[in-house]
Chains A and B, each alone.
Chain A
Amino acid sequence: MIPAPFEYVRPTTVEEAVQAVAEGGDDVKIMAGGQSLIPVMRLRLAAPETIVDLGRVAEMRGVREDGDALVIGAMTTHAEVIADPLIAQHARLIAEATETVADRQTRRRGTFGGALAHADPAGDLPSVALALDAEMVVAGPEGRRTVPAREFFVDYLTTALDEGEVLVEIRVPKLAGDWGVRYEKFNRVAQAWSIVAVAAAVRRENGHIAEARIGLTNMGPVPLRAPATEAALAGASASPDAVAAAARSAAEGTSPSSDLNAQADYRQHLAQVLTRRAVATAAGL
């Protein structure tokens, strides 16, 4: 299909981008890799007046270190994330999850920031950002602000980004200590979205699990943590039984949808199985 007509702006700096968004009229849309936006426009389910394409904003691309954190530019593509040595060293969970996103072509265009700003409940990266306690750096007409991942995902396809705001970069605290990670994705065919997925990061200490962070994908309108399981794992022995027992509460407090791929009760069941598997792998069991 052919999108409805729209104006097109291509800024080269964050400032210009914020300005272009401010001047873009009532219905302005930011475009990153376009991998979620363009299909919706082609089906004419969205018909924005103006598109602000971030593709030429060089400062929003790439990964750098800043003390205890990694800073990932919102326009860093999935392919770049997968290949990045800093991410491999300090935030391998992101790379592992990103490898499961879509297909090669889509990963060369789609961006880390775009995936977070889009906030699809079935998207793989929001739950990872949540599990890693990432922070979103956002620029708007009033300057910059930082939003923790816990507050960023507000509802189905809705984030804390205000009108006129651009997601500039994502700060991810480096994992310090003996961490193991695992992204356990469940889907029907290789290039499909997650029916349910579980992101797990586990810190081991003396044969015990000292700390576990669990992010759930597609278990509700927004990505979730699994607090009961995390609590049960803190200090638990790194054994299959302990992990299995803790995983049984992974779906507590979730409200997944029912759709073609899965009904809610099945999703809740999957969340438990996948949590057990993700944690076990992350803990090296």
Chain B
Amino acid sequence: MTVTEDPATTAPSAPEKEIGQARRRKEDAHLITGETTWTDNMVLPGMLHMALVRSPVAHARITAIDVSAAREAPGVVAVLTGQDVAEEQGSIPSAWQVTPDMVNPGHPSLAVDQVNHVGEAVALIVARSRAAATDAIELVDVDYDTLPPVLDVEEAAKEGADLVHSHLSSNTSYHFVFDAGEAGTGSDTEQAFADADVVVSRRFVNQRLIPAFMEPRSVVVQPVGDSFTMWSATQIPHILRVMAAMVTGIPEHKLRVIAPDVGGGFGGKLQVNPEEILALLVARRLGKPVKWTETRSESLMAAHHGRDQVQYIDIAADREGNVKGLRVRLLADMGAYLRLITAGTPALGAFMFPGIYKFPAYRFELDGVFTTKTPTDAYRGAGRPEATFAIERIMDELAVELGMDPLELRRKNWIDAEEFPFTTVAGLEYDSGDYDTATRRALELIGYDELREEQRRRRESGDPVQLGIGFSTFTEMCGIAPSRVLGSLSFGSGGWEHATIRMLPTGKVEVVTGSTPHGQGHETAWSQLVADRLGVPFEDIEVLHGDTAIASRGLDTYGSRSLVVGGAAVVRAADKVIAKARKVAAHLLEASEDDLEFDGGRFSVRGTPGTGMAIQEIALAVFTAHNYPEDIEPTIDADAAFDPVNFSFPHGTHICAMEVDTETGFVKIRKYACVDDVGTIVNPLIVEGQIHGGLAQGIAQALYEEAVYDADGNLTTGTFVDYLVPSAADLPHFDTDNTVHVAPGNPIGAKGVGEAGCIASTPAVVNAALDAVRHLGVRDIRMPLTPERVWRAVHEGGDGGDRATAKTNAQGAESAQAPSTGTSSTGGAL
């Protein structure tokens, strides 16, 4: 709280400091009372509806498409196939050329002569109603000449494997290497392994996940003269505008993109979707507004997936537990095509595998491999959860090998608080933190000693329910990103963010941000930032976003960048407003600028009690502009762009206590405690919410979620009956706390919190389950830890094995048979 000591500057309504207050979110009232503006709510005069005919087969040549019956169907306006749009549809863009020779086969929005995954769109129907468009799907007859599906990434990467794209010479798109020895950030890795006392090697499977955002994807395009307005349930209206313009040839200034209320994304809406491009093409052809909203079945099948890596990890150490080297070889299953950052997502992890440990040597190799599955791309954490999982799992394996306590091993090797800023073997400069303090607090929160004691008791008595404790002492890179770094990685964009502050005549404030929220609470947090900076009431601030005509510049929301980069731009803009207002205040108060103090939203003349002027009054003064200094323009509005010089590095210690029922394999989280350092906390409620949500998703990867394909390449987990997303009922109480080490790289001091829980929790949960049953001979269990896998690992050895690929009978529905996949003369076996 601010205590104003100088009576001369005590303004009548000096607001309390907003930063740090657990403000309820401004945006929630309308969200929970049904006053939302979801894209699908949009109704325009004459609006047509688009539906897609999707492939029921994983891999096939299209030999014929008969759309005549669909064209005749009631209400149908147009039916288009890939051939019809081949000349104008371009390719879905890939923003990241991971290596100079990376192979991109091109990604048509509508398949032209070949389909490469189940759910790929092969034709589109435009009709006067959604029902009419849906009815006509079944009338399109596609002949498929099937090709062998390519499903196993390790097989696909081998020489002589069946090819996904027959015009390419292999399924490998790129081979990316980071070698610390060669980069000069570490010593020779091979030598480190040759000299090591102990080497532990593991193969981990980071399974395929589905982002499963709450609001399905949806797009509406309205043609206006030669311009187009697109509403889309997207995280990235700004990037989408640039990319859609480049793909379709619609000039950028003739395209406006609006992201209205967006119901979650988790990376799943960080995409230039084929359906968005198709809606634009249809609106351009027909000159009519058109809407497309996906069904949940389409979403699970055709919206991009996440993760899906096979990880080979080797760690080297001496007998005392000092780590000597880390070697990582990844196979990333990219699915059939490169979407926006399909290629780059696993590469982002390259720099995070060393985690918080002082490895002297490090080598990372990655193959991006095509398979006949839905493309993978960003999913909450994007590259960093994969890296954190691998390093936190292998540290436990090394501890077992050395007979050391897993925490003691971590302590021995982590960066000490005094060593910050610390440049890691991957070349990143970690900004600030204190791993030990966070760990000690987390141990306290979970009641560590009692749990260990209980674990001992259960072991001794041979209790069928065993207890385990798992750690994850993690860090991540946030605040994506310094534009120059992105440039050096051949990323197709910068990483700055933009903000504008508009001071309205009545003293109200509009904050325009380029960082487009989709559920995070930007409106609340940005209001808190500006309220403190400008000294205006929280309620007087409106945050505008998500419309390229209003927020003209921006790079949107992903990678925990919004507050760290976007919020920093807002603060910079506020500082510029104050600087401009200061000139006007000096003029009106007839004082020198140097004699003015700005506090609590008021300028006052130092040493002259009772004088002064609120910044909100100055806004009116420059609006009327009757009296202002001659050498300035009559406005105190300001723009700012912020480009960070470094990433920020949140860290934390997560501890999971897990019960494992060895009779059934059922695992149950008994307790979960985490202490996260996310730098300055602007709104504790939002931070807590982000941590909880992240934990839910990270725990879900460990225990529940997995996209499973059968041997023919059908998505078996095609509905929420089989793709298990946990609810609050399945999650434990979370004991959370924070340490605060301010991030030096931005004026707020924040590090980013959007992904922390998701990145940290997965290995803590798996480590806990293993700790419970390790004495029974178990050393790995494949994620998700289904009861069956746990039971098999305990009773039969191994990692629990593959899951059967038949759907549960309770589903009563084969999504691959759903008519949105079209009818097929040869795909009937589905």
Contact = CB atoms under 8 A, between A and B. Distances in A.
Interface of A: 1-2, 4-5, 36, 39-40, 43-45, 120-123, 156-157, 186, 188-195, 218, 257-263, 266, 269-270, 273-274
Given A4-B135, A120-B809, A258-B806, 13 more contacts: A44-B818, A44-B819, A188-B704, A188-B724, A190-B727, A191-B727, A260-B803, A260-B807, A261-B786, A262-B804, A266-B791, A273-B663, A274-B664
B810 A122 contact: yes
Nearest to A266: B788
B722 interface: yes
Interface residues of B, number: 42
B297 interface: yes
B812 interface: yes
A259 B808 contact: yes
A150 to B, nearest CB: 21
A257 B806 contact: yes
Contacts of B815: 43
A121 B727 CA distance: 24
A109 to B, nearest CB: 16
B728 to A, nearest CB: 9
Contacts of A218: 809
Contacts of B625: none
A261 B808 contact: yes
A274 B661 CA distance: 12
B110 to A, nearest CB: 21
A174 to B, nearest CB: 30
Contacts of A4: 135
Given A43-B297, A260-B804, A156 B809 contact: yes
B557 interface: no
Given A44-B138, A259-B807, A260-B717, A2 B817 contact: no
A1 B814 contact: no
B721 interface: yes
A169 B138 CA distance: 39
Interface string B660-684: 0001101000000000000000000
B787 interface: yes
Interface string B520-543: 000000000000000000000000
Contact of B812 (A2, A40, A259, A273): A40
B729 A189 contact: yes
A112 to B, nearest CB: 17
17 contacts: A1-B297, A1-B819, A2-B134, A44-B818, A45-B812, A121-B809, A188-B704, A188-B724, A189-B729, A259-B806, A259-B808, A260-B807, A263-B804, A266-B792, A269-B791, A273-B663, A274-B664
Nearest to A45: B813
Nearest to B789: A266
B508 interface: no
Nearest to A272: B663
A189 B726 contact: yes
B724 A189 contact: yes
Contact of A270 (B664, B717, B730, B812): B664
Given A188-B724, A259-B806, A39 B788 contact: no
Interface string B111-141: 0000000000000000000110011001000
A193 B813 contact: no
Contacts of B788: 261-263, 266
Contact of A273 (B664, B804, B818): B664
B708 A260 contact: yes
A123 B788 CA distance: 20
B295 interface: yes
B785 to A, nearest CB: 10
A1 B792 contact: no
A123 B810 contact: yes
B130 A2 contact: yes
B813 A2 contact: no
B81 interface: no
Nearest to B818: A43
A262 B791 CA distance: 11
Interface string B691-717: 000000000000010001000000011
Contacts of A40: 812-813
B814 A192 contact: no
Residue from A44, A257, A274 with most neighbouring chain B CB atoms (10 Å): A44
A123 B297 CA distance: 23
A45 B818 contact: yes
Contact of A191 (B131, B664, B729): B729
Given A260-B716, A261-B808, A43 B813 contact: yes
B297 A257 contact: no
A248 to B, nearest CB: 13
Interface string B769-798: 000000000000000001110011000000
B275 to A, nearest CB: 16
Nearest to B133: A2
Contacts of B664: 186, 270, 273-274
Interface string B809-828: 11011110111100000000
B812 A120 contact: yes
Interface in B709-746: 716-717, 721-722, 724, 726-727, 729-730
B730 A45 contact: no
A252 to B, nearest CB: 19
B175 to A, nearest CB: 34
B808 A122 contact: yes
B817 A45 contact: yes
Contacts of A121: 809-810
Contacts of A263: 788, 804
Contacts of B722: 260
Most chain A CB within 10 A, of B708, B721, B804, is at B804
A188 B787 contact: yes
B506 interface: no
Contacts of A122: 808-810
A36 B722 CA distance: 15
B169 interface: no
Interface in B155-181: none
B805 interface: yes
A274 B786 CA distance: 17
Given A36-B812, A43-B297, A260-B708, A2 B131 contact: yes
B295 A1 contact: yes
A45 B704 CA distance: 27
Residue of A189, A194, A258 contacting most chain B CB atoms (<10 Å): A189
Nearest to A189: B730
Contacts of B663: 273
Contacts of A262: 787-788, 804
A260 B805 contact: yes
A157 B787 CA distance: 26
A274 B806 CA distance: 23
A197 to B, nearest CB: 12
Nearest to A263: B804
Contacts of B297: 1, 43
Contact of A190 (B708, B729, B806, B819): B729
Contacts of A273: 663-664
B809 A189 contact: no
Nearest to A195: B787
B810 A193 contact: yes
A193 B708 CA distance: 19
A270 B666 CA distance: 11
